[in-house]
Structure 1
Amino acid sequence: MILSVNGIEFRYGCRTILENIGFTVQRGEFLSILGNNGAGKSTLLKTLNKILSPQQGNIFIGQQELSKLSRLAIALKMAYVAQNYGSNRQTVFDAVLLGRKPHIKWEATAADLSLVQGILVKTGLAEFALRYLDELSGGELQKVVIARALAQEPEVLLLDEPTSNLDLRNQMEVLKTIRTAAQEKNIAVVAVMHDLNLALRFSDKFLLLQDTKVFAAGGPEVMTAENITQAYGVPVSVDRVQNQMVVIPR
């Protein structure tokens, strides 16, 4: 088990955001965190990277407790892609190379440069390598940020809405790249997702949040019409189209 979350509780003042949250993720698994806006999805993701410290509970990466690790130790094990990010006068190649920073002692090696080039190819960014970030579209910039996280070679990859600002083709390409990396590199992926059908297509496990708590957790068996309807407050059907589960609002 690479990631274990036990009894996490988080509050802003007197307002409870997360209550008794627990789940596990193994290497190679893709877990989607789902739920309505305000359900605590992004807050939960930030506690997993020690950006926020929960008032109760603990989080383990392997056998190590997250709260006892330094920022560098966390960066060597975990990469985080935020929902919002800025751009600057930096090339795409250099931006992705920054993902190697936790591993670089003095200067980037030939192996570091080769790894970055390979990731640019896999994410469809090779042609943009020398373009500046402030010249990119929102979708292209988002792919750069994800590529930088993959360059970090984490054991756990945390993603906050990784397909926002992406068109359908790029949504599929990015999630396929993430899914392939999870399987080939044995990375655990935890992603906040809004698109239920993309989550169903690429995820192994699901965590449905509602009213600060875990409403349902598990594999595809928990993604029933009844659970989704209750968690989101919208009547849906769950059908199969070409052997793929599909959520259809009614």
Structure 2
Amino acid sequence: MILVVDGVEFGYGGRPILRDIKFRVDRGEVLAVLGVNGAGKSTLLKCLNRILKPWRGTVWLDGEDLFRLSALEVARRLGYVAQRHQVTRFTVFDAVLLGRRPHLKWGITRRDLEVTHRALKLLELEDYALRYLDELSGGELQKVVIARAFAQEPQVLLLDEPTSNLDLKNQLEVLRLVRRAVQEEGMAAVLVLHDLNLALRFADKFLLLKDRTVYACGGREVMTPEHIAAVYGVPVLVEELRGVPVVVPL
């Protein structure tokens, strides 16, 4: 397993937010973190990225204790995409090239340029390379920040609500590209999502949070009407429409 989370706990001001969080993700897998607002989903991602320090527990990254690695090594091995992004007067190419910063030594190398070009190709941004960020739509900008994270060549990609504020077409396109890139590059991805139907469509594993801890974790088998109703407080059906699983609130 590339990422193993064992007993992570965290809180703010003495108030617990996460308790005994445990899960595993392997290369080529996408894990969706699900739960109601305030369940601790974004907090969990920040603990995995060392933005926050857990009260207790361990995060193993490819067999090494994440909290014993240097900040530079963490930046090389974990790619993090937050909910909000600062828009600057950078071109798309330069913005993606910034993802190489953890790997730079004395200057930009041919490999840095090759990795940047590959990230642009993976996210289908080659035609946008010389466009400025403030000229892009929300969906295009979201693909740029994900491409920048891919340019880090991380082992694990952490995405906090990557489809928020995107229209239906861009939601599907962004997650399709993320899933394809994860599989092609042999990394793992952990996504915080609110849309259960998008999670069912693109994720391999599901982590359901309730009452500050893991309610259920596993593959498609954990996404039952009973589990979803218990976590979200809404009765649902889980049906298949043309082979695609769909959650229908009752």
Opposite residue 171 of structure 1, the aligned amino acid is Q
Look up the match of 2:30: 30
| Pairing 1:1-250 to 2, within 5 Å after superposition | 1-250=1-250
Opposite residue 115 of structure 2, the aligned amino acid is L
Matches of 1:134 and 1:64, distance apart in 2: 39
Matches of 1:166 and 1:122, distance apart in 2: 19
Q: Deviations for 1:111-164, whole angstroms, at most 9, x for unmatched residues?
A: 322332232233232222112222222222211111101111110000001111
Q: Deviations for 1:13-67, whole angstroms, at most 9, x for unmatched residues?
A: 1211001111111111110000001000000010001000000111110121111
Matches of 1:173 and 1:109, distance apart in 2: 31
Matches of 1:121 and 1:185, distance apart in 2: 13
Q: CA deviation at 1:93?
A: 0.6
Opposite residue 19 of structure 2, the aligned amino acid is E
Q: CA deviation at 1:103?
A: 1.6
Moved more, 237-246 or 165-174: 165-174
TM-score when normalising by structure 1: 0.96
What secondary structure does 1:229 align onto?
helix
Where in structure 1 are there 5+ consecutive unaligned residues?
none
What secondary structure does 2:37 align onto?
coil
Opposite residue 14 of structure 1, the aligned amino acid is G
Q: CA deviation at 1:211?
A: 1.4
Opposite residue 56 of structure 2, the aligned amino acid is Q
What's the RMSD between the two structures over aligned residues? 1.2
Query: Residue 76 of structure 1 contacts residue 152 of structure 1 at CA under 8 Å; is this kept in 2?
Result: yes
TM-score when normalising by structure 2: 0.96
Matches of 1:118 and 1:14, distance apart in 2: 45
Query: Residue 82 of structure 1 contacts residue 159 of structure 1 at CA under 8 Å; is this kept in 2?
Result: yes
Runs of 4+ in structure 1 over 6 Å off: none
What secondary structure does 1:31 align onto?
strand
Matches of 1:57 and 1:157, distance apart in 2: 20
The number of residue pairs the alignment matches comes to 250
Matches of 1:154 and 1:224, distance apart in 2: 32
Q: 1:56 to 1:163 in 2, by over 3 A?
A: same
Moved more, 157-166 or 217-226: 157-166
Matches of 1:131 and 1:156, distance apart in 2: 28
Query: Residue 142 of structure 1 contacts residue 165 of structure 1 at CA under 8 Å; is this kept in 2?
Result: no
Matches of 1:128 and 1:165, distance apart in 2: 21
Query: Residue 21 of structure 2 contacts residue 213 of structure 2 at CA under 8 Å; is this kept in 1?
Result: yes
